[in-house]
């Protein structure tokens, strides 16, 4: 299920993005980024509709998934 980031309170969105970008196995390439930089990049992708917050009922977790995953325009 896609969760529109605009419908989350700012504090909740911030905490959710921080949790997602600091998970084990989250890799953003060779460049070292701070948590704040990672959150800012994720927010920009959400605002540009290149990424979506997706809730998995099976795993009871949220992830960020790319626009291409859903074939959305």
Q: Which CATH number goes with the domain that contains 7? A: 1.10.10.610
Q: Is the dihedral of CA 31, 35, 41, 45 positive or negative?
A: positive
Is it the case that residue 73 has pLDDT exceeding 60? no
Sheet holding 51-56, edge to edge: 2-3, 51-56, 61-66
- Within the chain, residue ranges assigned H as helices are 10-21, 35-47, 67-70
Euclidean distance between CA atoms 62 and 2, whole angstroms:
9
**What total of structural domains would you count in the chain?**
1
Could you list the residue range(s) of the whole structural domain that residue 14 is in? Answer: 2-25+32-70
Tell me the pLDDT tens digit for each residue of 28-51. 567 788 899 999 999 999 999 999
In the chain, the percentage of residues whose pLDDT exceeds 70 is 86
């Amino acid at each position: 299920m896609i969760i529109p980031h605009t419908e989350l309170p700012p504090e909740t969105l911030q905490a959710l993005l921080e949790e997602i970008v600091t998970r084990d196995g989250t890799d953003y390439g060779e460049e070292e980024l701070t948590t704040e930089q990672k959150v800012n990049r994720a927010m920009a992708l959400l605002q540009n509709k290149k990424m979506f917050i997706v809730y998995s009922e099976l795993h009871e977790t949220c992830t960020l998934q790319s626009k291409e995953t859903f074939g959305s325009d």
